[in-house]
Every structure is written in C-alpha cells, then in structure tokens.
A and B are shown apart, each in its own frame.
Chain A
Amino acid sequence: MNEIDHLGASLLAEIASAQDEAALEQIRIAALGKAGSISALLKTLGAMTPDERKEKGPLINGLRDQVQTALSARKDALSEAALEARLASETIDVSLPVREGPEARGRIHPISQVIDEITAIFGDMGFSIAEGPDVETDDLNFTKLNFPVGHPAREMHDTFFFAPDANGERKLLRTHTSPVQVRTMLAQQPPIRVICPGRTYRMDSDQTHTPMFHQVEGLVIDKKAHMGHLKWVLEEFCKAFFEIDTVKMRFRPSFFPFTEPSVEVDIQCSRKGGEIRFGEGEDWLEILGCGMVHPNVLRNCGVDPEIYQGFAWGMGIDRIAMLKYGMPDLRPFFEADVRWLQHYGFRPLDLPTLTGGLSS
C-alpha cells in the first residue's frame, strides 16, 4: 500500500467514526485545510515532473474528492440523526381536549330555523315575506276580517287588549297573523303572493298553548287562484317541509270568518313509540286552516271580489316545529334554557335551502 492509499484509508476511517459535526470539521481541517495532509500532497504536485504528475495527480485529486464526498455524506447522516433525536424528544399528548369553538357552541332557535325553512320553500314558489305590527287595531285584527260584532274572540277572555286611548280606540295584540293579509291587500294591487310569519298572542296557557306563539299566514290573490291551487300549494309545502316524498291530506269543511269556503286540513301520520311520522300510518293530525278569501274581506280591503279571488291559510310555526322535530311541550320554547336550546337548536351554519336540503 502506498502513502496515498494509506492516508485515504485512515481519513475515511476517521470520518466514519466521527460522532459530531465538530469532529468532522477537525478532520476536514486536518485533511483539506491549509496545512492539511491532502493539501500538503497537492502542494507536492508542482515540483513533480510531467510524467510523475501524470501518474500521481489523478491519485491525489481522487483522494481529495473521495474525502470530501465522505465528509459531506457523514455530515448529512449526523444531522439526520440529530433531527431524529430531537423529534423523538418532542411529543405532545394529542388526547388533550381543545376548547370547543364558538361555532360549535352557538345555536339557532327552532322557531328561527323553521321560519327560514318556510321562507326557503315559499320563496321558491314566488312568495314574498310580509310583516305587520304585533300591536294591532281592532279594525285590522277583526272587523276587516269579517269577524261579526260580539264574536267571542273580541272579548277579554281570548284577546289581550290595551287601555282605550283618548279617542276610545282600544288597541290589542294581534290574535293571528291575518291582519298582515289585510295590510298587504290595502297596500298592494293583485297579483299578491305573500307569506306572513310572526308573533301572535292569545290568553291561553297549557302544554300546547302559550300566551305568545308564532303563526305563518299565506295569501294568494289574482284572477284565477282557486281551491285546487290551494291544495297543491299546501301539499307541496308539506312534502317539502316534512321532507317526505308523499303526503296524504284530508280537507274538511270548517268555518273561519275570513274565508268562504273554509277548510281545515289534516295530514295522515303514524304514531309509534311517541314518534310521529308523516306519509304513513292511519291517524289524522290537524295541521292548518285555510280557505278562499271571503268576499267581504276582499271588499273591506278594496279588492273587487267579482274580478279577483284567492286563498289564504294559517298555521302555527311552533306547532309544525314540534311535529317535525319532536318537542313534546311548547312552553320550553320561551324559557331560554340553554340545555333545551343546545339540544333542540340548530348549528349556526345549518342554513336551510332547497338545493341543499332543509335540515341536515
């Protein structure tokens, strides 16, 4: 073995056994530094004859390249090992619970959710949303809607009244959303397609009645709207709202002062184990009242009943919310118990749409 081979073998052995970057650097300086062993060999090339140089040059340069490559490889290996060692020491307990984010805690009240659902369905059918005040006049809540003088609803035991004003007029809390029909017809020429969701008030309190509740009214007025259209609108609504493919409805003759003919609508359902399901079963459940707008109401609102006709319906928002989502009791709707709201409420981004589905 000549001197060059010997030096090479010894340097490569040193590199392989170097334990850290500092040791490697020392080896590099000792070999390739100004006074390094390989540098010294390289310096001897200048004094050589061309033949000698031709023979030794490649050997010495080869040695230099070989050592450089080994140094670099060993450096990479050492830094990789150092990283591995560091990573091995850097662990966290991923099972630690994080705080629930605000979007996970927030809730939308079922009434708001159901109003949004109703709006999505009727908005698609071309209905606008009309609103009116909760504090109403006797005229709009009763008289214009064809309630006869002396009707029991006009008495204290059904309706919340305010004290009479200087003119003797006694305001009241609307007992239904129907005065919004009247306001709409008084303000707008047909064709009319509106729904009117809102708060309503009656002196009632038990498991399914509260003194304040929510109703949605629907009104269609044009020159052709008839009961067949009414039936279709309600059937389509019920299918869309309850998210079922078929619905069986029963229309019964009934009576409301503001519609003629008047109809009450039941939907077929099954009740098993306290759960109500629509689109199946043998039971009937009353869901809404409706009818053709009474000619007197049209006249009272400045609409000629010989030219225009139409229909209206009204239903309880809280009630259909209970039917769809299974709340057994109405009273907790207004008690703001966060446990109830967390359970029956909806996540902030559960925005009902017809394209994405009303409920998730």
Chain B
Amino acid sequence: MKFTLSWLKDHLDTTDTVEAITEALTRVGLEVEGIEDKAKALAAFTVAYVIDAKQHPNADRLRVCMVDTGAGEPVQVVCGAPNARTGMKSVFSPPGTYIPGKDITLGKGVIRGVESNGMLCSAAELQLSEDHDGIIDLPDDAPVGQSYAAYAGLSDPVIEIAVTPNRADALGVAGIARDLAAVDLGKLKSPSILPVRGSFPCPVEVRLDFAADDKALCPAFGLRLVRGVRNGPSPEWLQARLRAVGLRPINALVDITNFMTLDRNRPLHVFDAAKVKGDLVVRRARAGETIVALDGKTYTLSDEQVVIADDAGVESIAGIMGGEASGCDEGTTDVLVESALWDPLNIARSGRALGITSDARYHFERGVDPDFCRPGLDLATAMIIDLCGGEASQMVFAGELPESPGAIDLPWAEVKRLTGLDLPVVEMKLALTSLGFHVSGPGERVKVAPPSWRADIGGKADLVEEILRIAGLDRVVATPLPRITGEVIKPVLTVLQKRTRSSKRLLASRGMVEAVTWSFISHDQAKLFGGGSRQLVLANPIAADLSDMRPSLLPGLIRAAQANADRGQGDVALFEVGQIFQSDQPEGQLIAAAGLRRGTAKLDGAGRHWDGAAQAVDAFDAKADVMALLSGLGVPTGGLQIVPGGPDWAHPGRSATLRFGPKGVIGAFGEVHPRILKALDVKGPLVAFEIHLDALPLPKFKPTKVKPKLSLSGFQPVTRDFAFIVDKATAAGEMVKSAQNADRALISDVSVFDLYEGVGVEPGKKSVALAVTLQPVEKTLTEAEIEAVGARIVAEMAKRYGAALRG
C-alpha cells in the first residue's frame, strides 16, 4: 500500500517528521517497506531555458542546444530529442548527475565531434513516467534555475507499507491515519461525509438475483445516477496523487473511483449510463458467458463468478473489473455509480480463476467496511459533482448491510495474562476507543464492540493485540522462563534422534561429505528405486523432474556424485541421513542413512600418491562403511545376516542385503547396478549402502550402567594357520563362523588372512586361509590339546564345505 505524506495529512493533523511517522507505522504493525523522496533523488535537476537549438553538423537526428541553466554562462548540450527547439523550457542535469531512469551517472562528453556539458531530460529518464518520446516540455512561466522537483510538486514523499491480511482497514489512507492518531502522531481529521440528497429517482433499478443460501455473494448494492457530467482529465492534484502511488490517471470519473479505493478502502465502479440497457441484475454468471473487460481482454465466465448484467448481457465482473462496453470515457455525460459489498472469498477465487489482478479485487478480497457502503457512495457522488458537475439521483439500495457481530467480553487482566505487561485500565481503554472500539461497562470486565471496519477482531486475544500494539510491544519485559523442574537437564533426544545425529558424525569421520538433496525426485528415478506409487506423486511439482517423493536417498546422491564428477571432482564420497517415503502415512516416512563412494574415493584417500595409488572403490568399501556405522551406533551385530544379492539398484553378484532375520531387513550395500548407472546417466565405479535407522534393533534397557566384568587370561595365546581348498561359491564368512564354533571357549578370534585362486588351485575352487587364535584360560595348552582343536576345525570344514587342507 502506497500513499504520500500530503495525502496522509488530509486525514491526520500532524507536525511530526516523515521519520517519526514511518517509525510509528512500523511500531503499530504497518511495516514500512520504503520511503521514496523524489525531491532528494532529483535534487540536481533544474528548470532550464533553451536559448538556441540548431542542427548538429555531423548527425541528422541530433541538435546542439545552448542552454540557460540559471547559473552563469549558457551551457552547450547535444540533444537527441525530436522536440528540442529554440525557446522552450525543459529540465537540465549537469555532468555528475545520477540519472535514475538510465541507471548511469552523467559525464562530460563529445558527441559526434561536438562537446556536450549536461543533458536535457525526458520524464522517463527521471523515472516520472514511461514517456520516452522527448524531453520534458515546461510552460513558459517555469522559473529557470529552480529545482524541477520543487517546481513540479514532487517533494511529497511516497511511503510504502506492508499491510498484513488482517488489516484491511489499513488499505485506505484514512485507516492508516487512525492508527497513527491512536499513537499520538497527530489528530484524526478525515473530512466528514454528508448524505447526498438526490433530486430525482434513479432511473435504473437493481435486482439481486440469488438463491437464499447464496445471498452472501452480494449482501448489499447501492447505485446512483449522476447526470449532466463533463468527464475529462481530473485536476492536477488528483492526477499527481495517483501517479505518485503508481496509478495512471485516466479520466475524472475513473480517477475518482481509484482515489476512493485508496483513500477510504472503498472500491467503486462507474458505468456510462448511456451504454447500460435497462435495469441491472446482480447474479451468478452463466457458464460460458463472456465479457470484454476494461483491460481489453475477453474473459469466459463460469457460474462460480458473480456479475452485474443488463438487458444486453454481462457489464461487469463483480468486485473485480468492469466491462469495456459500459465503461466511462470523455463522452460520458450520465454516470451510474456503484458501491457494493461482495463475498471476499468468492472475489479471491474468481480473481484467481480468471487470472485478473486488480485494485478492486485486492481490496474486496481482504474486506471492506460494510457500514461505509452508503457513505462511500455519497462521498463519491459529492466528488463527482465537485469535479465534473452534474445532478445526482436518489440512491437505490438493494440487499441489506450485514448485522454487526456482538461485543466481546474482555477482562482487563487478559492483557497481563498474555503479555506479562501491567497496564493502567485508562490506557488500555483509550487505546481501544482511539481505534474506534466501543468499550462499555465498569470494573474488571468490560464489553468491547469492534468497529465495522475491523472484521478481523473475533475474541479477547485480538483485543489484547490491539491494546499491545498501541501501547508498544517494546514495553513487554523479557522475563526468564523458569525451568519446569530445578534439576540438571535430562536427556531430550530419542534413540532415533541420537542415531540420526551420530550417523552423520560417524560417516563424516570416514571421510564422507554430507549432502542434503531434494525430498522429491523424478518419477522415473522413483520407480527405479522401488517408489513411484500414485499417492506420493505431487499434483503440482515445481519442475517435472521433482515430481515424486523419494523412496531412497540413493538416486539423489548418485546424481549428485555425477554432477560433482562433471565439475572435475570424480572421486567423491557422499552421504545423506534423511527422510524417505514409502507411503503418504506418517509411519510410511522413514529415516535412512545412505552413503556412496565413486572413483577411487577410498577410506584412506583417493587418487594417485607416492605411497601407492588408490584402487577403484568396490563393494567392500561400502560394506566397511555400513559395518562401521552399525558398530558406531552400538547396534549389536551378533544376529546380523549378510545375504548375497541386494535390491534392484544393486549389482546382483556384488551386493548383499543386511537383515536380522527374514522380516528384519535393515538395508543393503553393494556396487550400483550398471543398468541403474545407465538410466541415471552416471558413470561408475560407484558403490553404495543404505540402511533404515528406524529398522535397527533398539538397545536393551539395563537397570545399571555397570559394564560386564572383564576377565583377562594370564596365559599366552597361540595362533594356528589353516589353508582350505573349497568351492569358489563357499562363503568365507560362514567358514569363519564354523571355525569359531569348533571350540567357543578356547577360540578367541578367527580371521581370513589370505584368499587365493589360480595356479596350484584347481579351477572352480579357491583357497581360504584362516588364522585361528586360541586363548587358554586355566593353563598353558599342550601341543596335543592344540592339535585336537585343529583337528575339530578341519573335520568341521570338511563336513560342512567339503574343504580340504591345502597341501
């Protein structure tokens, strides 16, 4: 909402500075977004006289002007304007002036061989209008040397405020003045409005044609004819005001309606009575009806929209935009003035459906003062007669003004309860009454009736806000919030929250970089990763490739890895811990942790190095990441099964599913499937893992924090090595478990220290070398005892895996 200082002063008797006024506006909740002071911006531009303008010797379209700037010797200026001529008065800017319309600072120059010491300016160059056609042409009596801004009356600062949706009353200058008066920035002095006595009946009847439950679409409609008007340009003061706030003056009748909209938040419409056929009917549009509106565009209407129609058809889209056919122009002599109430919601919907943004819509959809419907028509009528002459008819008024809502019960103590601020009752009462509220009743509880222009006030909390914003929010005293109990803080994070946090730190400590990627991915990608169900497809995505809620973190990460590779960062290790979506239900949203490594981004480092180049990543890098994550999170991995083969995104032979039993799948790791790489247009090598943090077993609750007793053996451990020849498909991890089971009391560790296939081992077989550590507990082992354990291991391996000791 824009207005000028002088406009405000029509309604507010004040001597305060612009600074004080803008500060107060922000303080009462009408946040100032900007102050534009043309007088300051245009200080260097002065009125000048063109002594002589003659043809430029070297350019057809240029003129060389001698200009009297009122400051000493005449100045030579090269000018390209077609209207530059000897004897005219225009606007001059010397070198060094900032030209707002061109965003340049003017310098001295030589144009086609002729020196130019300044510029004669167009209105567009001063950002005063769109007029590029020539330099400003001033009347002969314009005083040479005077500031142009002062001469043209531009020294009226324009203030722009942001009006929150609840404050429709501040969409009129009068309403803004009321708020300022309430905080002592002056005295409210909006001109009073006298009813206009019509001298003849309005010849046009109005009928509200709505079903009983539709009446709210147009509760009331006032109309009056003013005949014998002369419509032409409105007076300069009115044009200047409209221009200052960014509106284009059109003609007096239209300018008056625009003025009323901004001055009083009372949008009106004017019809040229000569172009209206018969009486007016206000009704729902019929589907398919069309209208050419004042913006020159044709709109096709539906029965969701309300129109004003005459015998010839639709003449106006109610509360949004009038029709071209019945619009007022210079030829208008009889004018019908409409002041109506519309349903704000319907106006908003209709405006959106039709794609029309108009001032009328803006004001009506936020709400207007219903009680001002009649006075607004009277004020407009008086203004028309004042500016255009003519004679007014009586008002026809269809429908009824809505009843005002009841008074609100307000205990004064509510202010202290909600704000902690102890204000005197007198002050609170004055705050409300100065805003137009009616306060009745003595004592601690009063009845407060909101004014008709404050439809947003519904309860006592709203009244507290009104009192508070007038009293000043800065008076609220910061008060320490006491702890609920006086104890040392108890932990606040849940297991899942802790695991989410820890996962990030753990993975980062493995050299991976945390990414945060979009929650939505393309439909194709979602399908590749097990998603794409209808319930998770956005109806209105912001881009076609951001349409589906992600079923996995991997597509985003994989694409991110490639994007990094495309920027020359091919060896990347990325991870993300975040939400994934299996359904549109709250329980369908899970927290996943996923990581990937590309190129040679190994744990110990990537790329070539004097100490040995890093190899390409493989599935075991991803396995190491996920196992480190599980162990770091304290997940007991005793029951963890690593089942060959992963989900569809993984290479079937180089991946595994991680699970605690068949129904306890927690995730997977492996090489990314070549088909997935191709579909995502990504180059490998690329390995990844993803686990669902929600699916991890919870730690067991223990009554004490005591750790199990540690018993250390005093005897030397002994290690024996075994190399077994087994089928290539045999799982080494299983062999380790079997070896351990040969004597659970004695065997403290089994590790795989060598794998071999090739010369000396027959094809289809492999050699798996195990180092078995025995830890005696009670006494040193004899060679015979060690041999016995070894024999059990060999026998077990032979039985389970057909393993033979390598010769």
Contact = CB atoms under 8 A, between A and B. Distances in A.
Given A106-B509, A107-B513, A227-B418, A152 B546 contact: no
B396 interface: no
Interface in A94-118: 96, 98-109, 111-112, 116
A155 B489 CA distance: 43
A133 interface: yes
Given A100-B605, A105-B511, A161-B540, A255 B164 contact: yes
B60 interface: no
A358 interface: no
Nearest to B470: A253
A109 B516 contact: yes
B492 A134 contact: no
Given A123-B489, A212-B519, A225 B535 contact: no
B492 A123 contact: yes
Interface residues of B, number: 96
A47 interface: no
A295 B461 CA distance: 7
Contact of A149 (B345, B557, B577): B345
Given A99-B604, A134-B579, A294-B461, A345 B514 contact: yes
B308 interface: no
A57 interface: no
A339 B504 contact: no
Nearest to B549: A135
Contacts of A106: 507-513
B746 to A, nearest CB: 36
The 4 closest A-B pairs by CB, nearest first: A253-B29, A102-B511, A228-B420, A261-B465
Given A128-B492, A335-B563, A134 B589 contact: yes
B518 interface: yes
B179 to A, nearest CB: 10
A349 B473 contact: no
A108 B514 contact: yes
Interface of B: 26-29, 31, 164-167, 344-345, 348-349, 352, 416-421, 459, 461-462, 464-465, 468-469, 473-474, 476-481, 483-484, 489, 492-494, 497, 501, 504-520, 534-542, 546, 549, 556-557, 560, 563-564, 567, 569, 572-574, 577-579, 581, 584-586, 588-589, 603-605, 609-611
Interface in A315-346: 333-339, 341-342, 345
A338 B534 CA distance: 34
Nearest to A198: B579
Contacts of B520: 211-212
10 contacts: A102-B603, A109-B514, A112-B514, A123-B492, A150-B345, A254-B164, A255-B29, A261-B464, A334-B516, A336-B563
A171 B767 CA distance: 58
Contact of A103 (B29, B416, B476, B509): B509
Contacts of A108: 504-505, 508, 514
A312 B489 CA distance: 22
Given A338-B574, A348-B505, 14 more contacts: A102-B510, A106-B511, A111-B516, A155-B352, A163-B535, A193-B484, A250-B474, A251-B474, A253-B468, A255-B167, A334-B518, A336-B574, A338-B572, A351-B505
A83 to B, nearest CB: 28
B165 to A, nearest CB: 6
Contacts of B501: 112, 116
B477 A99 contact: no
Nearest to A151: B165
The dominant DSSP class at the A interface is mixed
Contacts of A107: 508, 513-514
A12 B642 CA distance: 75
A260 B473 CA distance: 13
Contacts of B166: 255
Interface in A218-270: 220, 222, 225-229, 231-233, 235, 250-255, 260-264
A88 interface: no
A2 B779 CA distance: 65
A191 B518 contact: no
Contacts of A345: 513-514
Interface stretch (A28-36, A65-73, A199-207): A199-207
Interface residues of A, number: 91
Contacts of B506: 348
B512 A252 contact: no
A254 B501 CA distance: 35
Nearest to B418: A292
Given A102-B604, A336-B557, A133 B589 contact: yes
Which of A108, A193, A222 is packed against the most chain B CB atoms within 10 Å? A108
Contact of A199 (B476, B497, B515, B579): B579
B540 A152 contact: no
A105 B513 contact: yes
Which of A160, A295, A309 is packed against the most chain B CB atoms within 10 Å? A160
B540 A160 contact: yes
A279 B334 CA distance: 63
A87 interface: no
B537 A163 contact: yes
B479 A336 contact: no
B169 to A, nearest CB: 13
Interface string A114-135: 0010010001111111011111
A220 B345 CA distance: 33
Contacts of B468: 227, 253, 261
Contacts of A199: 519, 578-579
Contacts of B344: 150
Contacts of B557: 336
Contacts of A295: 459, 461
B469 A339 contact: no
A126 B489 contact: yes
A229 B481 contact: yes
A156 B538 CA distance: 11
Contact of A228 (B348, B464, B477, B508): B477
A228 B540 contact: no
Contact of A109 (B31, B494, B515, B584): B515
A263 B419 CA distance: 12
Which of B26, B508, B546 is packed against the most chain A CB atoms within 10 Å? B508
A135 B567 CA distance: 34
Contacts of A126: 483-484, 489, 492
A165 interface: yes
Contacts of A98: 611
Nearest to B461: A260
Contact of B540 (A156, A205, A222, A309): A156
Which of B416, B542, B572 is packed against the most chain A CB atoms within 10 Å? B542
Contacts of B167: 255
Contacts of B563: 335-337
A338 B476 CA distance: 46
Which of B483, B584, B611 is packed against the most chain A CB atoms within 10 Å? B584
